[in-house]
Structure formats: C-alpha cells, structure tokens
Structure 1
Amino acid sequence: MSHFPMDIIESLRSISRQTGLPIWLVGGTVRDWLLGRPAKDIDLIVPERAFEVGQHIADQLNGTYIPLFETVETARIVLRESKMIIDISNFRQKMLEADLFARDLTINAMALPLNGPFEPAQLIDPTNGHADLSRRQIRAVSKAALQADPVRILRAIRFTAMLGFHLEPQTQQWIAAEANRLIYPAMERITEEFFIILQHDKAHQYVDVMDKLGLVRVLLPECDRLRNIEQNNYHHTDVWAHTRLALAELEAILLSIDDLFPTHGEAVRHVLKQPMASTRCISDMLKFTMLLHDVGKATTQSKDADGIIHFYQHEKVGAHQSRAITKRFRLSNTETKFVQNVIRSHLRPLGLLAERDHLSRRAYHRYFRDTEKDGVVILLHALADISATRGKSNWQTRRQNLIDLIRQMLDYYYQPQPNPPLLNGTDLINAGVPPGAEIGRLLRQLAEEYAAGTITSREEALAFVKQAISPDATTTPHSDI
C-alpha cells in the first residue's frame, strides 16, 4: 500500500509480539490502509492499560508521550523524527466487537491485530465495512450511532465528499430523520465538519445533499427561507436555487483561475490561500459567504408599478444579518468582517460593469480602497454571481464582459506602486498641514490622484498639498467614475 507508514506499523507489530500485549490498529487507519491512502495518523486500541502501553511505545519509538483522557484511558504519542501522531485508547465497551459497533460509520469500524499476519483476511469487521469500501458507499453503523453523537451526521457527508463515495439509502433516511439533533452538539464541532465539507473542490454537490436531507434547514435557516422567493427576469431560478448554482460557479472559477486570469493567476491564488483561522483560508470563507450573499432578499422583496421585482438594499440587510450567523458558527472577528464586507460589496463590481465604457483608473482606485483587502475576492464572487444569473439571453455576453473588466482591474491592482509613497504624514506637516484628520484625508486624496495619473512625482504632490491648504485654493471635485 503506497504512502502508508509501514515502517512505523512494523515497529508497532514488533512491540506487540515482544511484549505479548494485544494491540489492534483501528478506525480510519485501517480504512486508509485498505484504500491505499496516506495515513495522517495511527489509531490503536487495547483492552486496558492504554497509558502504560502508550508510554512503552513512546520509549521504544523515540516519541513524546501525552496523556489525553482518564475516563477512558487515551494517550497520544508524537514521534520526534517523522512527526507522526499515534493515538491509543482502551476499549470503550467490554469487548472489541462491541466497541466497533458503537462507532460512526462501517468503514471506520474495522480493526486489525498487530500480533498476527498483516493482511485483510485478519480484519475484525463486524459491520461489513470492507464490503462497503468495495461498494464505495458510506453507511452508518446504526441509527443509534447517529443519535449518540449527531455530529456523525455531518461526518457521513464529509466522508462521502472526501472519498467520492455515495451515501447509502438507509443512512440517508436515518440522517433525514435525525437532522434536528444537530442543534445539540457544541457549535465548534459542527463548524469544523461543515468547513471540511466546504473545502472539497465540488462542495456544492454535498451542500445539495445536505439540503435534500434537511440539514440546511437546521444549520442555515436563513438560507432555507430563500426557497420559492421569485426574482426578476435577470434570473431563471428562485433565490435559493440561484445561491446553490452560484456556489457551483464559484468552485468552477476557483479551479480555473489561471485560465481566466493568466497574467495574475498566481497572485490571485495566493490571496485565496491566505489563512483566516487555524484550519480555514479565504477560499473557504468565500464559499461560506456565497451561501449567505442573498439572505437579505428574504425580507426586501418588492414590486414596482410595472410588476418588476426588486430587492432594494438587500446587500446591506444581508451583511447585517450575517453577523448573527457567523456568531452562531463561532467564527472569528476577522472572518465575520470578511463575510460582511463581501456581502455588503457584492454588487459593486456589477455597478462598474454597467459603466465599463466610461471607467477611469480613479474608479478602480476607489473600488479597491473601499473594499479594502477583500477587493480581489469580491470580483471573483461577482463573477460567480453573474454566471448563475441566466434569465436573459445575453447573460454569457455579460459574463465575458465582466471577465474582461476583472482582468483590467487586476492589471491596475497589481501594477507597481511608488515605494516609498510620494509623500507621508511628516512631509505634510512640514508643508504646513496641521496634525489631525486632515493628514489622513490628504494622503487618501493624493493616493487617488496618483491612481488617476494626475500626480506622478513628489514635486507635483507637494504642489497639490500647498494648493489644498492655501486660503485662495479652489477645488473642483472629480466627476469621472
């Protein structure tokens, strides 16, 4: 089996034989061995004395021993050289088979003794998990297993996505019946599983599965309220169907960054990979935000005298509503600010598209200034949004026009900037500007004039400042877009 840590397994087998201690490889480690997948860690189980056995393994394999839980003795060994993690615990039931029957999924409910031949024929497999691997199906051990820990409902979806398997029909029925139990576990656990699902390249398929089984109704009731909300003739679906299609379009865009934006693909991918939390990055949060981007439409629908549907200010309403959602999911302040900013600004690129024949560099500058560091991903969001808006026959032309506009805006965004800036705060004070808010205002205005090309040197910048603070100075506001 390729990429599997057989050297460590052989060392563990040797320890088991030498000491006479019965040790079983269990759970996901057995599953990954049978599938030929790399193992991120190794799970072991013993009838008793897990602390003692774990300490012995740490001593023999040059690892750091960490006791985790005392109620059911559980310890962790971190091997110093390979950094491989080995977890070992006592049986949670009196007998091994009973322990396996209490697990979540059949493919995670297999064990392999380390003191005998290391081959599939030696599997302890009371729930027929090996057969389910062959059938490429995810099957819960029992309905009671889902009831005992409702997070296992999401784990079933997660493994369906991770392995590319199908969800067994009886398990689907159990999940649908037990969906309401997802209100009980700690939300941090729910969030972890939910985002692992979103990290899949085609997460939209598994969001659809969750929707079909009633999980969206429980986890994201704000999205559930978008069903059957009719839209104007730019759209061909209701709001919730549009949202799901927009997520699918976003994922297609994320897989095609280099083709869509060949000049700046690497830079855009770098932005998307930036971490936002310990296990989440910007691309993950962008997918989550896509699910929420139109939640404001549930309360803002109106019709004008001609019967045309509008959702005035839905982006602002949605940004406000999203704060309660991110709080419920226990997201960080940084993640919350990101979600709100993207939702609040998600129509901004479409406004620029409507004026594309009259846009100036000043308009690009204002866009990236106002959207702060999220400007690039908001452009991608807008492209996915418009790609899922197919009510009019010219939607493909509008999509291509937006791609062309985004390319131009990325050219502007990634152009070299003056380093150091033409002027700084000290320069302004030396020029006679009093300390205070006026310093910041003038620096922002200088940045905009540089972006527009009306100021290109330090001398021109100083002249601009002197004119701005002169009692006789007259200013003409710029009207270009």
Structure 2
Amino acid sequence: MVELHMEIPFKMIRDFAKGQPVFFAGGPVRDWLLGRYASDIDMVVPHGAVEVAHKLARQTGGGFVLLDQGEDVARVVIQGISFDLSGFRKNAKSIQEDLSFRDFTINAMAVPMDAVSGSIRVTEKGIVAPRKDCIKFLIDPFGGWHDLEKKAIRPVALENMREDPLRLLRAFRFRAVLGFFIQADLQEFIRSESRLITRSAPERINYELERLLETGLAGQSLREMFDLGLLRQILPELKEMEGVEQPGFHHLDVLGHCFEAVSCMDKLIMDPCTRFSNCKVFQEWLSKNPSRTPYLKWAAFMHDFGKPSQKDIRQDGRVTFYNHDRKGAEMAAEIASRLRWSRSSTSFVKRLVRMHMRPFHLLNDLRKGGPSKRALRKLLEEIGPDYPALFLLSMADSMAGCGPLKPQGLDDELSRLFDKVHEFYLKRLIPVKKAPPLLNGKDVMKLFSIRPGPLVGQALRAVEARRVEGFIKTREQAIAWLKAHFPDELSVS
C-alpha cells in the first residue's frame, strides 16, 4: 500500500498561519470519528486562509483553486490530495462560533491540527487519523459526537437551513451516504419549508443528487425526499405521475414503480450476479464507468416518466402507454437541461430511457429461437458499448414490476437474452469494427461512376451491416452484393 506522509504540508500551513491556531473541521473529523477514510482535508484558520493556501501552493508546487474570495476559502491540491482552507465564517471570534454556522451537528466538530497532524496518514483508501486522538482533542459544542453515535442528522440551528436551503437536500445526501436518519424536527422543517430549495443553483442541486445517487440507498432516499415534499420542488413532473395506475405487469402506480426501479437498480449495481449469469461483464462495465452510476439510476427513475401523457384506454378496456419511451426521453432531456447536466450524461440517460423497452420487445423473438442477427446488430449499433447499462435498466424495470400479468421467468429470459447480445457483440460486431473495411469510398465511386455524396456512405454502411450479420465475408462478395442492391436497397435498418 502506497503512503504519502503529510508532515511537511502541515508544518508549512502552521508556519504560513503566523501563530494562528489551525483546526481540522467538518467532514474529515466526522469520518475519522466513524473510523472511515476521509476523501480530502478541511482546515480552518481564523483569517487569511486564501493567503495561506497561495503560499502552500507555491511552496509545494500544488494546484491552487480560489473557491470564494469573499468568504476566504481556497483549495490546494498536492499529489492528488485536496486541502480546503477557510477562514472563520462571518468574522467569528472562535472556532466554537465558526462551528455554529455549519449545517449539521455531525459536521460541526473540530480538532486542533497540532494535536493529530503527526499521526495522519494518506493511503490508497484515503486519509486517516487515529480515532482515539480525535476523541481526546475533540471540540464539539453542539453534541455532534453524541449524534454520530445515535446515527442522527440534526441541524446546528434551523435558521442555518433557511440561510442556505441546499442544506435541506444535503441532509438526504448524508442520510444516504452514512445510513443515518434525519431527526424529526428537521423532517418537519423540510416538510414546511421545502419550497426554499428552489432558491439554490441548479448545479449545486445536481451535485448533491449525484452524491446521493452514488449510494446504495438512492431509491429509499428519493422516496423519503418525495414524502417530505422536497423532490416535488426539484421535479414538478412527479405530480402528474402520482396515482396513475398501470394494471397488468405492474403492482404499483407509475410513480411508485419508478421509485422501486431505483431501489432495484441499487441492488443490481451492488451485485449483478443476483440476476445475470454472465455477471462479470456488468461488474467490469460498472468498474470502468463509475461516473455513470448516478446517471444509470436517473435512467431507472425516469424510464416511465412519459407514461402519464401517453396513457390511453382502448375499447376493450386495456390500458396502453404507446410511445412513452420516446416521451420519457424528451422529458429526461428537459430535466437534464434544467439541472445543468453535461452533454455526455444527458445523451446517456436520454438514450437509455428511449431504448428501455427494446430488450422486452426482443424477448418474443428469443422465445422463438431468435433474435435474428439483424435485430441484434440494430440493437448494438444503437446502444453501443453501453449495452450492459441497458440490460441493467431493463432488469431493474422487470424486478420492480410484480403484477398478475407478468410472465413467469421474465428475469431469467432477460439474462438469457443478454448472453446472446453479448456473444454477438464479441464474436461478430467487434471483429468487423476492428478489421480493415472490405471497400472504401473510392471503390464505391469507381464501381458506380458516381461523385462523393450520401450514397457512398450509405453503400459502405450497408456492406458493413451485412458483414456483421455474416452475409458478406470477402471483398468480392461485397462488390457482388452492392451490384445487386445499389442504389435502392441500401437501408441498414
């Protein structure tokens, strides 16, 4: 295990603080008391934190980030470790007064730097300090240590929640990350003041939701946020989903099903082997795409958002939701824009929501000995290498539906279908994509005496599609196929 010794940066901070006391505070202290590794180091000096950070960055060659000049907050990154330095808040006269302006009691504790800095270690797992030393020198004016033991999330003061409404959402993030419960008075405050969250910047809201969705309690936490009214303020679309019944495959209304799908996704991400026989593929995809985890859960939550507007009752009384996948994808894009998602995350969720029914449609072919090579190719070319994510979504959808018309063994069928898709991807699609093309644009133009244009690209794509399906294997076969089908039969659909 690689270790980085931090005595030198701490000594520099002590020197640059010019005799002022320096404290570890907030998240690291909380995590060390819980016996956890901290991801970064939060430090407090009475004043001049930005100047201290500047000097630390120059002396160590670390990266400097000014977080808030007015609030005297800056970050220095040294060998991948973040040191967040801040001055006392609101011109506080003591560390106790500074802690009084924080969000929750479990984050309103501090330890003098000199008391534990010599025993802090940075390992591959994170930053750790001896718990016994933190307890011995703990500054805890609001009972945070007691609340840690009770696993309670309690505000330092309700007025602090009103001052920065994002803290209402942050309570649920800590609830999900730590597995704690939100204290009753805070729950009532959230219920009565949930509208305050609309004052927070969308980027900050999305950051908290991302952190929440990374945990294994995402589904349960979203449901609790909804019950207290907070999620309704962030996603007003949910109002239309509540009480929309969907008899047949489902036992819950649309909204309840969406919450349950996230909970099922929590379980699948934790252990895909519970549903998929070829589970190593999913484990590898998840390990390579950790930043996609929260957005995979967003897709699970949003996959049926389009149902209320698409609901119809046929003459025979059957309830249908035709094209709800397309409508849901449009809604996902609107929400993504509102929450300032990246283009990549927006595209990922939109594509999954739009395609979430495709595996279910292919199950009919599976039961008849399929799907066809053409169907497998079309699916994979549309979803690309994220096909494990699509099947995780479909499986979560299936697990969350337990209505009387749900076919027995549906989850097992999805697993078998995935095996076929994965085999086709490895044995047919990837080899063709990696191999040199049988024909190029010049070949097509010469063969049919045409100029550059859309027909050339269509011809090349059509040849590649037939090659993936196994109908074309050689250059001669490609030329013969094009002569027989050019230009009217070049569709790759």
Same-fold call, TM cutoff 0.5: yes
For 2:489 and 2:14, locate their aligned partners in 1 and report how far apart those are by CA, in whole Å: 83
Choose from 348, 356, 362 the match for 2:374: 362
1:441 to 453, 458, 476: 458
State the Cα distance separating 1:409 from its structure 2 match. 1.0
CA contact (8 A) 1:342 1:374 kept: no
Q: Which moved more, 1:105-114 or 1:90-99?
A: 90-99
Shift of 1:321: 2.3
Query: What are the Cα deviations for residues 332-390 of structure 1, in whole angstroms up to 9, with x where unaligned?
Result: 23322222222222212111112221421111112223445544422322222122221
CA shift, 1:198, in A, is 0.6
- CA-CA distance at 1:197 after TM superposition: 0.5
Cα distance per residue 1:286-345 (max 9 Å; x no partner):
211221111111112111122211112212222222221111011123322222222222
Q: Which residue of 1 aligns with 2:127?
A: none
| Alignment correspondent of 2:126 | none
**1:171 is aligned to 2:186:** yes
The residue aligned with 2:447 is: 431
> Is this contact kept in 2: 1:46–1:88, CA < 8 A?
yes
In 1: Cα distance, 2:17 partner to 2:47 partner: 18
Structure 2 CA distance for aligned equivalents of residues 163 and 247 of structure 1: 18
User: For 1:77, what is the secondary structure of its paired residue?
Assistant: strand
CA distance in 1, matches of 2:231, 2:438: 51
Matched, 1:352 2:367: no
Name the CA shift for 1:156/1:359 in 2 (closer, same or farther; >3 Å).
same
Alignment-derived partner of residue 412 in structure 1: 424
Rate the CA distance shift 1:168–1:395 in 2: closer, same or farther, 3 A: farther
Superposition CA RMSD, Å = 3.2
SS of 1:299's partner is helix
Which range is displaced more, 67-76 or 407-416? Answer: 67-76
Contact 1:65 / 1:76 at 8 angstroms: preserved in 2?
yes
Between stretches 215-224 and 231-240, larger displacement belongs to: 215-224
The alpha-carbon distance between structure 1 residues 9 and 201, as it changes in their structure 2 partners (threshold 3 A), is: farther
Post-superposition offset of 1:393: 6.0
Q: Residue type of the partner of 1:299?
A: S
SS in 2 for 1:364: helix
Residues 230, 262 of structure 1: CA spacing in aligned structure 2 closer, same or farther, 3 A cutoff? Answer: closer
Which residue matches 1:452?
469
The aligned amino acid for 2:321 is F
Contact 1:216 1:224 in 2 (8 A): no
CA gap of 1:433–1:388, structure 2 versus 1, over 3 A, is farther
Q: Distance in 1 between matches of 2:439 and 2:468?
A: 14
Distance 1:215 1:332 in 2: 24
In structure 1, the residue matched to 2:71 is: 72
1:295 paired with 2:311, answer: no
Judged with a 3 Å threshold, the aligned counterparts in structure 2 of structure 1 residues 218 and 29 are, in CA distance, closer, same or farther, namely same
Report the TM-score, using the length of structure 2 for normalisation.
Answer: 0.85
Letter of the 1:417 counterpart: P
Ranges in structure 2 where 5+ consecutive residues have no aligned partner: 117-132
Report % sequence identity.
33
Match of 1:48 in 2: 47
After the TM superposition, which of the residue ranges 237-246 and 309-318 deviates more from structure 2?
Answer: 309-318
Offset, 1:227: 1.1
Shift of 1:394: 5.1
Task: Give yes or no for the alignment of 1:86 onto 2:86.
Answer: no
Q: What are the residue-to-residue correspondences of 1:5-84 with 2, within 5 Å? A: 7-8=6-7, 11-12=10-11, 15=14, 20-54=19-53, 68-79=67-78, 82-84=79-81
**Which residue does 1:95 correspond to in 2?**
93
CA distance in 2: counterparts of 1:477 and 1:34, whole angstroms = 63
Q: What is the alpha-carbon distance in structure 1 between the residues aligned to residue 3 and residue 151 of structure 2? A: 20
- Equivalence map 1:182-221=2 (5 Å): 182-221=197-236
Question: Are the counterparts in 2 of residues 43 and 87 from structure 1 also a CA contact under 8 Å?
Answer: yes
Per the alignment, do residues 64 and 265 of structure 1 end up closer, same or farther by CA in structure 2, a change over 3 Å counting? Answer: closer
> Do the aligned partners of 2:459 and 2:486 also contact (CA within 8 Å) in 1?
no
CA-to-partner distance for each residue in 1:134-171, whole Å, 9 max, x for gaps?
Answer: 11222121211111111111211111222222222222
TM-score (norm 1): 0.87
Please tell me whether residue 136 in structure 1 is matched to residue 151 in structure 2.
Answer: yes
Aligned residues: 468
Report the AA paired with residue 39 of structure 1.
A
Following superposition, the deviation at residue 115 of structure 1 comes to: 4.7
SS state at 2:216 partner: coil
* Shift, 1:17, TM fit: 12
In structure 2, relative to structure 1, the CA distance for the partners of 1:68 and 1:151 (3 Å cut) is closer
What is the alpha-carbon distance in structure 2 between the residues aligned to residue 408 and residue 355 of structure 1? Answer: 12
> Partner residue of 1:421?
437
Task: Give 3-state SS (helix, strand or coil) of 2:267's partner.
Answer: helix
Structure 1 unpaired stretches of 5+:
none
| Cα distance change of structure 1 residues 230 and 26 upon mapping to structure 2, 3 Å threshold | same
Structure 2 CA distance for partners of 1:403 and 1:16, relative to 1, 3 Å: same
The whole-number CA distance in structure 2 between the counterparts of 1:7 and 1:464 is: 68
Render the CA deviation track for 1:220-243: whole Å, top value 9, x for unaligned.
121332111011211111011111
User: 2:304–2:325: 8 Å Cα contact kept in structure 1?
Assistant: yes
| Stretch deviating more after TM superposition (395-404 or 138-147) | 395-404
The equivalent position to 2:347 in structure 1, one of 337, 349, 352, is 337
Partner of residue 165, structure 2: 150
- The range that moved more, 240-249 or 331-340, is 331-340
| Partner Cα separation in structure 1 for residue 279 and residue 481 of structure 2 | 33
Q: Which moved more, 1:294-303 or 1:109-118?
A: 109-118
Return the letter of the residue paired with 1:438: L
Structure 1 equivalent of residue 389 of structure 2: 377
Q: 1:288 to 1:131 in 2, by over 3 A?
A: same
Take 2:75 and 2:142, find their aligned partners in 1: how far apart are those partners?
Answer: 27
